[in-house]
Chains A and B, each alone.
Chain A
Amino acid sequence: MKKFHVKDEDGEVFEVEEIDEAPESSEEIEESVELTKDEILALKGLAAVSEKLMKLVADVEDACKDEDEEEKEEKELEDEEEEKEQIEEVIDSDEEEEIKPRDSKKSFGAIERKAKSQDSLDESLDVENAWAKRYGGTK
């Protein structure tokens, strides 16, 4: 940043700094669905081979399920388990049900740790397989 010394009419000297102008704010780009001729031609070509492309995408998605993704899924399952353990019971007032008192032997908010079982993973797989079998695609 440059500094200048300038004199005013009375001969007094002031130090003046050059201030960088803020860059112009980028204008909001409006979303448009109008396509150029080239884009339409490209899309027409794409539609013609869309079946193959869809198959290719499905194949690539399957192949790309790497270890990171599996770890992520495992972590999410763990989080899910933890969330389940920490939930507070909510009673449906519409059904006029009695609110059960808490077990006084356990402190409020205590978390019971459970060993992670293979069952939950198997169940998720069953759910995915059932979807694929009935409706196709992944779930």
Chain B
Amino acid sequence: MTNYLSKIFALKNKMPLYSNHLNTILSLNGGGSPSAPVPYQLIENGDFASTDKWSGTNCAVSVTSNNVGVATVSTVNSAIRITHEAFEITKDHKYYYQIFVYPPKQIKFRISRGTAAIIDRTISGGDWSRIEGIYSSTTTTSDLTLRYYFDRDSVLTKTQKVYFSWAQLIDLTATFGAGNEPTTVEEVNALYPNSYYEYNPAE
């Protein structure tokens, strides 16, 4: 089910005459614009089909059979995080980031590029939260590590688990062209339904 929408978007681009029928199927999953191009998605294995590309610091990373990433606390401190393997980003490009998080109790959550924070958010416990936003890169680097800190205020205890799903980073500039990018999260959500899109870097 996780790759289903990506495949439909790919088919839509290759078979424009047939896109109405594919839109019917898309609408069953919450919508998506008929004009939305295939998104350039930079996170590999963001659907947590395995632990490939992911590592844990002060926690162990595993996955469940239904593609949920699990971080199990091994050392209690404020730097507990899961990290995605390094990839390339481009200066002045705009990126849409998203991840779903389920902590056992309220936590302070942070997404950062390296050690530089992109977003800080307090998340309620016992429920899924969608963390998303748009980030403009100020540098070009082939060595960006995306970090997801999940206990900035050290409230979790050893062996407690935090669950993750559908991490993605869409290069909006590569997808829509410079100057044509959606500028708000709401615009991105209108174009792409609440789902996961396959790893698809711009060439």
Contact = CB atoms under 8 A, between A and B. Distances in A.
A83 interface: yes
A76 B64 contact: yes
Given A40-B18, A47-B22, A137-B1, A127 B65 contact: no
A91 B58 CA distance: 6
A76 B57 CA distance: 22
A94 interface: yes
Interface residues of B, number: 41
Contacts of B77: 92, 95, 97
Interface residues of A, number: 36
B165 interface: yes
B81 A51 contact: no
A53 to B, nearest CB: 9
Interface stretch (B35-43, B67-75, B85-93, B181-189): B67-75
A44 B21 contact: yes
A7 interface: no
Contacts of B122: none
A89 B74 contact: yes
Main secondary structure of the interface of A (DSSP, over half): helix
Nearest to A61: B1
B79 interface: yes
Nearest to B194: A135
B78 interface: yes
A51 B78 CA distance: 46
A43 B17 CA distance: 13
Nearest to B129: A134
Given A35-B15, A84-B72, A130-B102, A90 B66 contact: no
Contacts of B18: 35, 40, 43
Contacts of A130: 102, 126-128
B163 A94 contact: no
12 contacts: A33-B14, A35-B18, A43-B18, A48-B24, A50-B24, A51-B28, A73-B65, A80-B70, A83-B60, A87-B60, A90-B75, A135-B194
Interface of A: 33, 35, 40, 43-44, 47-48, 50-51, 54, 72-73, 76, 80, 83-84, 87, 89-92, 94-95, 97, 123-124, 126-128, 130-131, 134-135, 137-139
Instruction: Identify the 8 closest CB pairs spanning chains A and B, nearest first.
Output: A47-B21, A92-B79, A95-B79, A87-B60, A33-B14, A92-B57, A84-B72, A50-B25
